[in-house]
Amino acid sequence: MSTLAKTPVTIVTGFLGAGKTTLIRNILETANGRRLALIVNEFGDIGVDGDILRSCGIESCTEENIVELANGCLCCTVADDFIPAIEALLSNPNPPEHIIVETSGLALPKPLVKAFDWPTVRSRLTVDGVVAVVDGAAVAAGRFADDPEAVQAQRAGDESVDHDNPLEEVYEDQLLCADLVILNKTDLLSDDERRTVSGEITAAIPRAVKVVEASEGKVAAEVLLGLSAAAEDDLANRPSHHDTEEEHDHDDFESFAVAIEATDNPEALVASLASLTEAHDILRIKGFVEVKGKPMRLLVQGVGNRFRHQFDRPWTPGEKRASRLVVIGEKGLDRAAIERALAGLTAKAA
C-alpha cells in the first residue's frame, strides 16, 4: 500500500527536558490549520506536558485530539496503551491528518517505531519521521558522556560492575533512531560549543541525518512534518543498545511526586529547588504550584539546576489548588531526604 493513503505519524523523542513539549507547541502554532492530534507520554504521574499543550488554545488542535498516556513509558506499553490510543484517534468522525507522539524523556523510540511494522498498524499508519530533540547545553556540559574518572574508580573497585551509563544509552538510542535532529537550546551555547556538539551528533549517527539548530524549539512545522521517512521499513538501520532485550524496564531511573505548601516567593522557591537538585543529582523537577494570593497557577520546570517558572493559567473555579512537583532521577535518589527538604522549602521561602 502506498504511504500516501496512510496517516503520517511523527515521533518526537529526546532526553528529559530537552525541549520536546516546547517544540510541539511550536508545531501547533505553525501548522497552518492542519488537523493534528497529539499523544503525550510522560515519566512520572503528573501530566505536565499534556496540560501545557492543552492550554495552547490553537484551533486546529482541540482537546479531544490530545491524548495523555501518563505514568509509564510508551516503549514498554506499546500494545496496551499506544495502539488503542492511536486507534481511537483514527476512528474519530473527523480523524487527524497527522499524529504527533511525544515520548517520555526516558523512552527508547525504536520499540515504538517497531509497532508501526505490525500488519494491523502498517496498513493505516506510517512513521513520517523520528525527530530527536537534543539539549545542547546538557551535551556540552558532558551530561551524557561517561566520566572517565568515575569509570576508572569503579573498575578498580570491582571488575564485574556494569560500566554502562544509563543516561548515555538513552540519549544515544534516541539519536540512532532519528530522521532529523533538533539541536535545541543553542541560546545557551557559544559558537564553538555549537559546532562541537553538532559534530558529535553527526559522528554518533552512522546514517546521514540532518541536524537543525534551534532555540526555544522554534522550528517550523514544514521542516518537521512531511519527512516521509517510513521509518518502520528501515528498522535495521536504527541500532539500539537494547536490540537484544525483549523489554527494557526503566530500572535505571525513578520518579515520585511530592505535594508542597503554597509559596509566596516563587524566586526563593526556585532557588531552593536548584540547590536541592544539585545536592541530590536530580535530573528533572516539574509541576504546578500555588502562589499565595495569586489567581494564576505557577508552572515550575527544572532541567538539571536550570529552572524556569511562569504563571501558565488561572486556577479554574472549584479546582483544587494543589502544589505538586514530580522529581525524576537515576535510581537511588534519597527520596526521604528530598521529601523532607521539599516540606521545609516553602517555610524558608516565605
Ligand X SMILES: Nc1nc2c(ncn2[C@@H]2O[C@H](COP(=O)(O)OP(=O)(O)OP(=O)(O)O)[C@@H](O)[C@H]2O)c(=O)[nH]1
Tell the smallest beta-carbon distance from residue 278 to ligand X (Å): 17
Question: Please, which residue, 21 or 346, has the CB nearer to ligand X?
Answer: 21
277 touching ligand X, by CB under 6 A: no
SS3 of 190, please? coil
Q: Does 297 interact with ligand X (rule: CB under 6 A)?
A: no
Of 285, 303, 327, 345, the residue at the interface with ligand X (CB under 6 A) is 303
CA distance 333 to 304: 14
Does residue 185 touch ligand X according to CB under 6 A? Answer: yes
Q: Which of 188, 204, 212, 230 binds ligand X (CB under 6 A)?
A: 188
Count of C-beta atoms within a 10 Å radius of residue 221: 20
Would you count residue 240 as binding ligand X (CB under 6 A)? Answer: no
Map residues 22-51 to x or -, x wherever contact with ligand X holds by CB under 6 A. x-------------------x------x--
Among the residue ranges 20-28, 154-162, 225-233, 336-344, the one whose residues contact ligand X (CB under 6 A): 20-28
- 35: cell is 488537523
Residue 309, phi then psi, degrees to nearest 5: -145, 145
Please tell me whether residue 198 binds ligand X under the rule CB under 6 A: no
CA nearest neighbour of 207 among 178, 246, 233: 178
| CB of residue 97 to ligand X, shortest distance in Å | 23
Can residue 122 be called a binding residue for ligand X (CB under 6 A)? no
φ and ψ of 205, to 5 deg: -110, 120
Residue 121 CA to residue 196 CA, distance in Å, equals 39
Confirm if 257 and 324 have CB atoms less than 8 A apart.
Answer: yes
Cβ neighbours around 117 below 10 Å, total: 14
Task: Find the binder of ligand X among 6, 7, 13, 16 (CB under 6 A).
Answer: 16
Please answer whether residues 235 and 117 qualify as being in contact, where contact means their C-beta atoms are separated by less than 8 angstroms.
yes
C-alpha cell at 173: 538510542
Compute the distance between CA of residue 145 and CA of residue 163 in angstroms, rounded to an integer.
12
Q: Which of 6, 9, 13, 17 binds ligand X (CB under 6 A)?
A: 17
Q: Which residue sits closest to ligand X, CB atoms considered?
A: 105
Report, in Å, the least distance between residue 280 CB and ligand X.
17
**Is 7 among the residues that bind ligand X (CB under 6 A)?**
no
C-alpha span between 338 and 312 (Å, rounded): 26
Beta strands 125-135; 7-13: pairing state? parallel
User: Which residues are CB-contacts of 187 (< 8 A; sequence separation ≥ 6)?
Assistant: 215, 216
Shortest spacing between CB 215 and ligand X, in angstroms = 4
Interface stretch with ligand X, choices 92-100, 115-123, 155-163, 215-223 (CB under 6 A)? 215-223
| Secondary structure of residue 209 in the 3-state scheme | coil
Site membership for ligand X, residue 215 (CB under 6 A): yes
Query: Does residue 72 bind ligand X (CB under 6 A)?
Result: no
Q: Give the C-alpha separation, 25 to 31, whole Å.
A: 10
Q: Does 75 bind ligand X (CB under 6 A)?
A: no
CB of 350 to ligand X, least distance (A): 24
Binding site for ligand X (CB under 6 A): 14, 16-22, 42, 49, 105, 184-185, 187-188, 215-217, 284, 301, 303, 308
